[in-house]
Amino acid sequence: MQFEFIKIEKQVVKGVSLIQLNRPKELNALCLELMEELVHAFKLLDQDEETRCIVLTGNERAFAAGADIKQMAGRTAIDMLKIDQFSKWDSIKKTKTPVIAAVSGFALGGGCELAMLCDMIVASESAQFGQPEIKIGVMPGAGGTQRLTRAVGKALAMEMVLTGKFITAREAWNAGLINRVVPVEIYLQEALKLATQVASMSPIASQLAKESVLKAFDSPLEEGLQFERKNFYMLFATEDQKEGMAAFVEKRNPDFKGK
């Protein structure tokens, strides 16, 4: 498939593939076509055995400034229901491979929601996060009221959603929304470094660990604990578990094969 609104680079560093949003003039506004390409790219990379971690980025000025307002402006509620643009997000959510967002500049509305859909966020000092939908007469529709609230708590989430205020990368880090804030010159490099670390682990263990952490968001504690336990036991069916534990005993680095 040819991509028009995104770029993909497989194995940008060992075990890591990169997806770059590529509508710079529109600040990477997430039009339907871009989202379709993104769904396809995530599926492709999730099936690629060499890809053990995915980095999603935009450019220095914008990660993404939200859903495409111009594309949505004239739609009716029935159009919105029929198009159901956010169903694309459900598909991206199913990506088993760990995903790291490398964010610089604007991460607004759907852009902030897309970053929050990723498993970790590395941000440049110039990054700004916000849910400004209220200023255009609507509200977040792709997780902004839910994932943001779970990440930063009610007080800050409510203020951001009700006033549309942006927060800086430093504020986002203090609030627990993101993993790292680094100078703009190295934000992508840092994200790739973190991705390389993730990619060096057993990919089966990483996938089950990711699935288990995410389970904590939508299940009661006891159910989550049972889920975690079963995943832990299941990993004893892998060669990587034997290799990882043997390497520890033999005082050497493990060589995980993803089997």
Nearest distance, CB of residue 29 and ligand CAA, angstroms: 3
The answer to whether 37 is a known catalytic residue is: no
- Please name the amino acid found at residue 131: Q
Nearest distance, CB of residue 116 and ligand CAA, angstroms: 11
Is residue 181 a contact partner of residue 235, using CB atoms and an 8 Å limit? no
Q: Does 26 bind ligand CAA (CB under 6 A)?
A: yes
The answer to whether 49 is a known catalytic residue is: no
Whole-angstrom distance, CA of residue 149 vs CA of residue 151? 5
| From candidates 6, 8, 27, 161, binder to ligand CAA by CB under 6 A | 27
Residue with tokens 């390389």: 196
The answer to whether 113 is a known catalytic residue is: yes
- Find the length of the chain: 259
- For residue 163, give every residue at least 6 positions away whose Cβ sits within 8 Å of its Cβ, in sequence order, or none: 134
Q: Which of residues 132-171 bind ligand CAA (CB under 6 A)?
A: 132-133, 136, 140-142, 144
The answer to whether 130 is a known catalytic residue is: no
Q: Does 58 bind ligand CAA (CB under 6 A)?
A: no
Using CB under 6 A, count the residues that bind ligand CAA. Answer: 21
Kindly list the distances between the CA atom of residue 94 and the CA atoms of 156, 175, 193, 207, in Å, as whole numbers in the listed order.
28, 26, 24, 11
Q: For ligand CAA, which is the closer residue by CB, 30 or 99?
A: 30
Q: Does 107 bind ligand CAA (CB under 6 A)?
A: no
Nearest distance, CB of residue 168 and ligand CAA, angstroms: 14
Whole-angstrom distance, CA of residue 15 vs CA of residue 161? 37
Q: Does 65 bind ligand CAA (CB under 6 A)?
A: yes
124 backbone dihedrals φ, ψ, rounded to 5°: -85, 160
Return the closest-CA partner of residue 103 out of 88, 118, 89: 118
Nearest distance, CB of residue 25 and ligand CAA, angstroms: 6
Give bridge partners of residue 128 from the DSSP assignment. 106, 168
Active site residues: 67, 110, 113, 133
Residues forming the site for ligand CAA (CB under 6 A): 26-27, 29, 65-70, 106, 108-110, 113, 132-133, 136, 140-142, 144
